[in-house]
Structure 1
Amino acid sequence: MKYELVELERLIPLEEVFPNHLENIRQLIYRDGEIHKALIADRMTGTILDGSHRYAFLLEEGYKLAPVHWVNYQDENIRVGSKLAHRFLTDGCSFVNKSECIRRSSTGELFSPRTTRHFFPFRKNSITVSLADLKPGPKREIDHLLAKVNISEEISHNKSYLAEIDEELRILSDYIAEMVESRTYLTTQVDMLKASQPVIFFPGKFHPPHMGHVQTILQLASNCKKLIIGVTGDTPSNDIMTQNQIIQVLSDVLETFDNIEVLKINDTLTQKNDTCGLPKFDLLCSGNPDVIHWAEKQGVKAKFVERSLGVHCSGEVIRAVLSDSSSENI
């Protein structure tokens, strides 16, 4: 948590404090010689939203500075209520609101101790600030901050606060259970949707591999349960790469995609009279009209995809471009 060491004169209290609780805090702070929680205050008005008892300690003991985490109180993500459970309410049904808090702090008409519950969009993490860094000085009078209550009343108030905490824990427990149930339901839906997608067979020479191939492959892979890339052996006579080299490049480039498999196809598809020796699939995709025509003759469901265009390049270049593209989409 970011904080600044701020002069106490810039801060304005919002609530009174419990005298016995203040004494307990005094003992703990002097035992450690440190402050472990920053005060939280509105930057515009200086109103203390969290840390009234720490403020009272620093004021009474004569310290000139306090560790403060400034916030913009008008931020809609900062909310206020009179009970812990009000953190879950958005209709403003609690009697405490921000305008009343600012009015009270500016007029000195302080709330009773722990009347307000402020809820922030961040965790109030621990800090370590030595008391020596807060510039100790002469003690001050803080009678105007002390609530007129006895120990029994403080104990009763703390018990009520504990009951609120128990209620909030119950609400959170119910919410967690609801989210676990929703997660299980959505996971099942995703699995069912994935299972309903086809297994696509995408044969071709891929000679030599280029980014156009990779882009087409990734587009097909995003719409299927599994994509089988069949690298055929009918490479051109002026072969730049062998069939095995093509398979190696594609396998290396696509190794992080779980639903893509690269296979070696020994035959030229258009010269085959059947589908024997081919992997099991639901849909054949190709940019070669002759392959589509062959598939239709075999009674295989087929779909034409535009021929992929791109600059011939090595596997290293393809991986570099693919990595850059992934980084841009993060």
Structure 2
Amino acid sequence: MNSSWLENLWTTNPKKSRFQRLSQENRSDQSKVAGNLKFKIVFMPIEQLKPHEKGSPLYLELLKNEILKDGVLKYPIIADETSLVILDGMHRWLALQSLGYEKMPVLLVNALENPKIRIGSRRVHRYIDDSNKHITAKEVISAGLSGSLMPPRTTRHFFPFLKPPRIDCPLDSLGKSVPKDVSKYLVEASSEECRKAIKSWLEEISEELDFLKKRVEEVEREKEEFLARIKSLNHFS
């Protein structure tokens, strides 16, 4: 398989979708490397995958509407290659099940042996260590295999890439069957709890933006100080 596969996925070509380009290189099993992380994208029966935490009924409905409007699944979900426990994309998995689809694209990684895969509990933990609440990959996989699901949004997995490759997989390529009842995977939530959840999501995004803004200011200040040192050095040379 040639090394241009990921580049091809991101190449803008109005005549070919990302999914079509993926399909042309044997879409049943793609072994690729991004940075130092080797992964595979495979098409799997949805029923073989396992969640590790409960889902939000509100977020599920939002995502279902988006997927139906788009007519494609933009990104593969991410799962552990050995246990098939879902690490990222729980609500996409729920959405496709509830809409009656039979399979989906999955990016497989080795969660137990790759130290570059980290786990936090909030978005900002991508950049700073979550020292107060450390959950291991072993605990995540154990929850998925046992069926003792963690509460919603307990974990956030961070990978050596910001996002998996976008593939825009057409829904009509995923096989259609009878819609599944996914209520057992959802937490019960009242209207008030849903409103609080929305507020919490927005606060978490704002927290990340505030952190990044401060970090940009710090780096810009460091750059100015470094340039000042260079000018000072030139002055004495």
Length-normalised TM-score, structure 2: 0.74
Deviation digits for residues 14-54 of structure 1 (CA, Å, limit 9, x no counterpart): 12112232122222212222111221112122111111111
Please give the alpha-carbon distance, in whole angstroms, between the structure 2 residues aligned to 1:161 and 1:28.
18
Please give the alpha-carbon distance, in whole angstroms, between the structure 1 residues aligned to 2:196 and 2:202.
10
Which SS does the other structure have where 1:67 is aligned? strand
Which SS does the other structure have where 1:69 is aligned? strand
- Counterpart contact for 1:86–1:94, Cα < 8 Å: no
2:50 aligned with 1:8 = no
Superposed counterparts of 1:57-206, under 5 Å: 57-74=95-112, 75-90=114-129, 92-124=131-163, 125-193=165-233
The one-letter amino acid paired with 2:100 is G
How far did 1:85 drift? 2.9
Deviation digits for residues 121-141 of structure 1 (CA, Å, limit 9, x no counterpart): 212153311011111122223
Task: Identify which of structures 1 and 2 has the higher relative contact order when contacts are C-alpha pairs closer than 8 Å and 6+ apart.
Answer: 2
User: Corresponding residue for 2:15?
Assistant: none
2:79 aligned with 1:38 = no
Deviation digits for residues 139-168 of structure 1 (CA, Å, limit 9, x no counterpart): 223222121112321220121121121112
Please give the alpha-carbon distance, in whole angstroms, between the structure 2 residues aligned to 1:67 and 1:81.
25
User: Corresponding residue for 2:28?
Assistant: none
User: Corresponding residue for 1:28?
Assistant: 66
How far did 1:187 drift? 2.5
Q: Give the aligned CA root-mean-square deviation in angstroms.
A: 2.1
2:60 aligned with 1:18 = no
- Counterpart contact for 1:41–1:68, Cα < 8 Å: yes
> Per the alignment, do residues 186 and 159 of structure 1 end up closer, same or farther by CA in structure 2, a change over 3 Å counting?
same
- Counterpart contact for 2:121–2:130, Cα < 8 Å: no
Length-normalised TM-score, structure 1: 0.55
Which SS does the other structure have where 2:160 is aligned? coil
Aligned residue pairs, count: 197
Runs of 4+ off more than 3 Å: 88-92, 190-197
How far did 1:174 drift? 0.9
Which SS does the other structure have where 2:229 is aligned? helix
- Counterpart contact for 2:119–2:134, Cα < 8 Å: no
> Per the alignment, do residues 91 and 34 of structure 1 end up closer, same or farther by CA in structure 2, a change over 3 Å counting?
closer
> Per the alignment, do residues 32 and 90 of structure 1 end up closer, same or farther by CA in structure 2, a change over 3 Å counting?
closer
Q: Percent identity?
A: 33
Superposed counterparts of 1:210-249, under 5 Å: none
Which SS does the other structure have where 1:170 is aligned? helix
Structure 1 portions without partners, runs of 5+: 198-330
